[in-house]
Structure 1
Amino acid sequence: MDRAQIVNSNFRRRVASEDLPQGAAPLAAVSGDCAVSIYRAQCLSRALDLTSRTMQKNGQGYYTIGSSGHEGMAAVAQALRPSDMAFLHYRDAAFQIARADQVPDQDIVRDMLLSFACSSEDPISGGRHKVLGSKELMIPPQTSTIASHLPKAVGAAYSIGAARRNPPQHRQLPDDALVMCSFGDASANHSTAQGAINTAGWTSVQSVPLPLLLICEDNGIGISTKTPTGWIQASMEHRPGIKYFQANGLDIYETHKVATAAADYVRRKRKPAFLHLRTVRLYGHAGADVPTTYLSKAEVESDEANDPLLHSVRLLRDAGALQPQQALEIYEETCLHVEAVAAEVITRPHLQTAEQIATSLVPPKRACLASPAPSPDARDRAFGSDHRSMENPQPMSRLINWAITDLMLQHSEIVMMGEDIGRKGGVYGVTQKLHQRFGPDRVIDTLLDEQSILGLAIGMGHNGFVPMPEIQFLAYLHNAEDQIRGEAATLSFFSDGQFTNPMVLRIAGLGYQKGFGGHFHNDNSLAVLRDIPGLVIACPSDGAEAAMMLRECVRLAREEQRVVVFVEPIALYSMRDLHSEKDDAWMQFYPPVSKSIPLGDVGVHGDGTDLAIVTYGNGRYLSVQAQADLAAKGIKTRVIDMRWLAPLPAEAILAASKDCRNILIVDECRSTGSQSEALMTLFAENGATAIARHVAGDCFIATGPAYAASLPSKDSIVSAALALVAAD
């Protein structure tokens, strides 16, 4: 027999003979009915673990990372409210089961088995992945990325206080809610977890409300690597701003009492707490894992002897709530019930086509109350002396600032967050005066941690806000890219569109900064974003377009619940001139508030048919310069600005270039992984023959006079265009 069957057999035998482990007497704080309810949830969690392994062996199920040993989390669920959002550790089936007992009309057995079977009828993911989660139970689904849910849990907890002060239209959490986030002892060592815990403490010591309950389920091992004895307590007991609680997770009475006390502290004080819950892990990490290959048989059997269900039977007996024979009957009945439901569930349909799988990549649209445009008086108060400047053309940075101001005036649910965006006004001054105009609740100066910035945004998006986080430089996104790839962009997909975290992520990026920072401030790679399904990527090239595209980005997030990345070319922030010094030809007037540029709408500049230059960002600026030189040589050119890098506006690009004899792709990103690869494919698949690309080299960017040596320039674009036309 495998270890799961050994534990199952041992439980039946030991309960029947009342050979139960020793332990503390049951605390009187838990009623008999509540304790029995917790035990039933534990039995169901165990029965589901056993059945999932049988289904997997028979090719009828696809998930065997079980919750056995962690069933004490059922007592935690009973200590919380169903309205408390819960971001769960993947071993927390018992928590979800116990919470289902608190909400009417739940069929938790069938729901979880449908998930094991990856049926398209699975109520949380629609058969896309085995995840714990439920909209009715306020449990967003959690991916397998280690500890990546902690930053958004911090953000969701912060959002509760923010929503008290500024209630968003699509608010999800009540004023007295808290956010629970659970994870394993191994995950606690991950930099993402440490950053989130640090952010929680950093926020708390400033007396900012943060009703967050962190629960570390400490079973002493991460797959095969042991956690040093006492490590979690030593590293977490004295964290500033976070109150430490601990409990024996094998004792449902103690766990319920301590979890209740921790939740009461968080709810009353609006401060974070850390509950250290000692557990055991049974069966190994997952179905294919054999724990005796890295643990001694004595160690494995020691954990099995501490089976939490055996402890629960003893405690229930000693409390007079349930006799062992009754407990065994509940266990047997539960196992039979699960097996019977599984026999029906394995016949249910599965996803069949790529189209079915992709249905939930894009979140569903939601009804939004109309937000009236800001009144003239409101705009006068907000803009102040800037109103007079609107009579004249301005550089991109100022027009972005004005667009954000108008958007925040119109939509009170927009909240900004990032390093230095408040009092300083941003590294490049783009967010100047916004802190004074809207206050620290809506323009949040964060600590220096990109993961926490994005986690704050994701969490606030969960509670109805439209976050607008800022990452100072594109290269710094890589410190936190999984918060977009593994969390924000996957939430709708793994929840079948039931949970969303809309946002507009602003990133200052790309190259051409003269002599400043080298690669770390001139990062010309968007590849990490381009291949994330469902993500919208916008990249403006002049100030008026930036303002109008940003309005569309906010609409996409607010009304369509999209995750949008708005890449702002740093080198164009303050660009004034185009062809000659002081010609001011690249500055633009601030467009009327009612004007926007729809997703997928490309820009066309010129009507020449000899050559189409397809480009974006800085590439458009340089291509327009080259356009004049080419015209002087008799080559009639049009410049097609993509604007929207993802999803690729393929039809619009093809339509804009269809009557041109030659097509040159100018891409400031690197040869490998750049937009040019997709564009070359697009044109080749649609019959284009006279096509070439001119791109940056596969190299990092240098500091100093050579800042643009590896990038396209006006002259190199002209040369590439002449060579293409000559070949034609």
Structure 2
Amino acid sequence: MDAVSRVHDAFRHRVAVGDLPGGAAPTPGLDAPDAAAMFEAQVLSRALDIVSREMQKAGQGFYTIGSSGHEGMAAVAQALRSDDIAFLHYRDAAFQIARAAQAGQDRDQITGDMLRSFACAADDRISGGRHKVLGSRALMIPPQTSTIASHLPKALGTAFGIGAARRARPEGAILPRDAIALASFGDASLNHSTAQGAINAGGWAVARGADLPLLLVCEDNGIGISVRTPRDWVARSLRSRPGLRYFAADGCDLYAAFAAAREAAAHVRRARQPAVLHLSMVRLYGHAGADVAETYLSADEIAEAEARDPLLTGVRLLRDAGALAPAAALELYDAVLERTRAAAQAAPNWRRLADAEEVMAPIVPPLRMALPTATLTDGAGAPPQPMVRHIADTLGKLMEAHPEIVLMGEDVGAKGGVYGATRGLQARFGPGRVIDTLLDEQTILGMAIGMAHNGFIPIPEIQFLAYLHNAEDQLRGEAATLPFFSNGQFANPMVVRIAGLGYQKGFGGHFHNDNSLAVLRDIPGLILACPSSGAEAGAMLRECVRLAREENRVSVFLEPIALYPMRDLHAEGDGLWQTAPADATVPLGSVGVHGPGRDIALISYGNGHYLCHKAAKRLADTGIAPRIVNLRWLSPLPEAALLDALAGCGAALVVDECRRSGNLSEALICLLAERTDLRAARLTAEDSFIATGPAHAATLPSVEGIVAAARALLDRA
């Protein structure tokens, strides 16, 4: 007999004959109607697990990872308010069902919502048929996929954003001043670096006096797919964390779970400090539909787990509390399962997504709520200055104009960042808007994602491009996917500033000079911007902030480190690369065109654009008329504007300072081959890391290399 049938039959038989598990008496504090309602939520969660597997066998359902054994999360929902934002573990259907009842939704609605999610129906209320996820805009549950604790950093950021909004509430705030943020996760996920980083960051923030109303719930079923969690590991790990108040209960006991959850939530709401609720649970069935627990668990271990079925314990507790008789509980179980099966009969008639256009529709989120647009301070009359000063000045003007903008990152405050790009801003706007974080890129990005949930426009800083790889999943798996998996109902707009690329003469080698953008360019919906001059940096930064404020977009603003201080172009002291401030913007999808030359177009960005200007002079001195095309926007590529900029040119040379494999030049050469008749070639960096010292540019394009490649291309018959 399969596990689903075995657990189902055991429940019905044991309740019918009165063979209920023993245990503690019902913990006081839960009245009979609420207890009965919570049990009904638990039963519906179980029924949905059963029916989801039946739907899968019939070819009408998908992704049957279930919540059986974790039904105690209904008690956690009951202990919170329906406007407390909740980032849920994938086994928390009972939480969403209980919250739906708390918010006044009827059982038929939540049943239909869940079934449509199982079926990937196009009218699924949360993802629109894109994934089986828990979530609801009305219930303040942003959707998660099969998370491995990757949602904890943004839950931390959301809690921080609730606290920040109590001091200065942004116009787009959606969470109450006294709300708390919840994040639930499994015992195996506790060991992930993302979870450890978020928990550590929470304690660190409390030590610095932060207002951080965060409730973490660890659902401990003792096993991570097939690997057992060491005995007492979770308790010993969580009890020892500074700044984190520890609560625990038997998650199979809905009365005890409710009492502990209520106490934990009250502490978080009152003290404005984080707590963890450790619930002992059980995993019934296998990990997911395709998982067979018998391959790694003994028959005795499986039987022991099934004997802890929280529904059986619930029947006994309800009986002892006088809330519901066992016969009535069994009748309820059968009726809920019958209604759920009946509702699922409509699944063959539900429409599924039809084509790529429909699937991709929410990758770009809907426009943000209308916000007033302030006039930035006029920069006219200011002297020319290098890129790093343009960035600092533009950030200051944007923060002055838009109080919802917050900066965060390592050393961005008193130090002003590694290169001074945020110098003076903390003194000007205060530590609540220019936030020094701990050294953890996952936390920095998660903090930004979370604050964006409550109306802020975060501008987090990652010190170096090479450091992003520690935390790239926060962009790929969390920030960029949120509109997609919520069908545009949730978004986390922000602008991520990253210093990167090569050509630094004596600092850091490949640790501080990373010239690979592939990890960013293949994230759907993400905007990647790369300026090459000071005025352009200010203009593009303004556009990225506009895209966040008005269009809910996530942008990465890549700042070429070697160009930060650049003043001269052709000769020392000529000052041709520093520019005067201007308050213009550079629209997304546009390119820069320099010179009317028709012989060859030099297409580049960042440091490559600077080198192309040097090379263009040399080419012009020999009678070749070049045109320089500055891409600016690296993802999505400004294809239409680029093709327009090439009109009338006889050849095109792509100069890509990133590696030959997996970077921009491949896409550009492909575009030129598919859409033009131009002779085209590319000059790229080698597939190598970058060295420190005299060889810092040995693997990168050079002025001499550009000139030689251009001439070779023009010499082709």
* TM-score bucket (shorter structure): over 0.9
In structure 2, how many angstroms separate the alpha carbons of the residues matched to 1:374 and 1:625? 33
1:491 maps onto 2:493 in alignment: no
1:394 maps onto 2:385 in alignment: yes
- Code of the aligned partner of 1:540: P
On the 8 A contact 2:531/2:632 being kept in 1, the answer is yes
On the 8 A contact 2:162/2:177 being kept in 1, the answer is yes
1:207 maps onto 2:209 in alignment: yes
Counterpart of 1:721 (choices 705, 710, 713) is: 710
In structure 1, how many angstroms separate the alpha carbons of the residues matched to 2:301 and 2:368? 53
In structure 1, how many angstroms separate the alpha carbons of the residues matched to 2:669 and 2:103? 54
- Code of the aligned partner of 2:653: L
On the 8 A contact 2:90/2:147 being kept in 1, the answer is no
Report the equivalent of 1:34: 34
Classify 1:206/1:273 alpha carbon distance in 2 versus 1 (closer, same or farther; 3 Å): same
- 1:305-333: CA deviation from partner (whole Å, max 9, x where unpaired): 11000000000000011100000000000
In structure 2, how many angstroms separate the alpha carbons of the residues matched to 1:480 and 1:170? 27
Counterpart of 2:495 (choices 499, 504, 508) is: 504
Distance apart, 1:689 and its partner CA: 4.0
In structure 1, how many angstroms separate the alpha carbons of the residues matched to 2:377 and 2:593? 34
Report the equivalent of 1:246: 248
In structure 2, how many angstroms separate the alpha carbons of the residues matched to 1:393 and 1:638? 25
- Code of the aligned partner of 2:588: L
Distance apart, 1:272 and its partner CA: 0.2
1:115 maps onto 2:117 in alignment: yes
Counterpart of 2:629 (choices 637, 640, 645) is: 640
In structure 1, how many angstroms separate the alpha carbons of the residues matched to 2:54 and 2:145? 24
- Code of the aligned partner of 1:481: E
User: Percent identity of the aligned residues?
Assistant: 62
Report the equivalent of 1:382: none
After TM superposition, list the pairs within 5 Å mapping 1:295-694 onto structure 2: 295-373=297-375, 391-592=382-583, 595-694=584-683
Report the equivalent of 1:19: 19
Report the equivalent of 1:102: 102
SS at match of 1:101: helix
In structure 2, how many angstroms separate the alpha carbons of the residues matched to 1:404 and 1:235? 41
In structure 2, how many angstroms separate the alpha carbons of the residues matched to 1:30 and 1:346? 41
- 1:381-417: CA deviation from partner (whole Å, max 9, x where unpaired): xxxxxx89x6310000001110111100111000000
1:77 maps onto 2:77 in alignment: yes
In structure 2, how many angstroms separate the alpha carbons of the residues matched to 1:339 and 1:637? 70
On the 8 A contact 1:511/1:524 being kept in 2, the answer is yes
Distance apart, 1:164 and its partner CA: 1.1
- Code of the aligned partner of 2:312: L
In structure 1, how many angstroms separate the alpha carbons of the residues matched to 2:512 and 2:12? 63
Distance apart, 1:181 and its partner CA: 0.4
- Code of the aligned partner of 1:411: H
On the 8 A contact 1:118/1:130 being kept in 2, the answer is yes
In structure 1, how many angstroms separate the alpha carbons of the residues matched to 2:603 and 2:377? 40
In structure 2, how many angstroms separate the alpha carbons of the residues matched to 1:597 and 1:509? 21
- 1:86-125: CA deviation from partner (whole Å, max 9, x where unpaired): 0000000000000000113451000000000000010000
On the 8 A contact 1:502/1:561 being kept in 2, the answer is yes
Distance apart, 1:422 and its partner CA: 0.3
After TM superposition, list the pairs within 5 Å mapping 1:104-183 onto structure 2: 104-106=104-106, 107-183=109-185
On the 8 A contact 1:110/1:345 being kept in 2, the answer is no
Unaligned 5+ segments in structure 1 are: 377-386
In structure 1, how many angstroms separate the alpha carbons of the residues matched to 2:395 and 2:370? 19
Classify 1:335/1:191 alpha carbon distance in 2 versus 1 (closer, same or farther; 3 Å): same
Structural RMSD (CA)? 1.0
SS at match of 1:346: helix
On the 8 A contact 1:115/1:129 being kept in 2, the answer is yes
On the 8 A contact 1:143/1:487 being kept in 2, the answer is no
Report the equivalent of 1:263: 265
- 1:264-309: CA deviation from partner (whole Å, max 9, x where unpaired): 0000000000100000000010111111110100000011011000
In structure 2, how many angstroms separate the alpha carbons of the residues matched to 1:280 and 1:104? 29
In structure 2, how many angstroms separate the alpha carbons of the residues matched to 1:367 and 1:185? 39
Report the equivalent of 1:384: none
On the 8 A contact 2:492/2:554 being kept in 1, the answer is yes
On the 8 A contact 1:85/1:178 being kept in 2, the answer is yes
Report the equivalent of 1:45: 45
SS at match of 1:663: strand
SS at match of 2:603: strand
Distance apart, 1:28 and its partner CA: 2.0
In structure 2, how many angstroms separate the alpha carbons of the residues matched to 1:302 and 1:346? 38
Runs (4 or more) in structure 1 with deviation over 3 Å come to none
- Code of the aligned partner of 2:367: K
- Code of the aligned partner of 2:86: A
1:292 maps onto 2:294 in alignment: yes
Distance apart, 1:375 and its partner CA: 6.7
In structure 2, how many angstroms separate the alpha carbons of the residues matched to 1:716 and 1:131? 51
SS at match of 1:340: helix
Unaligned 5+ segments in structure 2 are: none
Count matched residues. Answer: 715
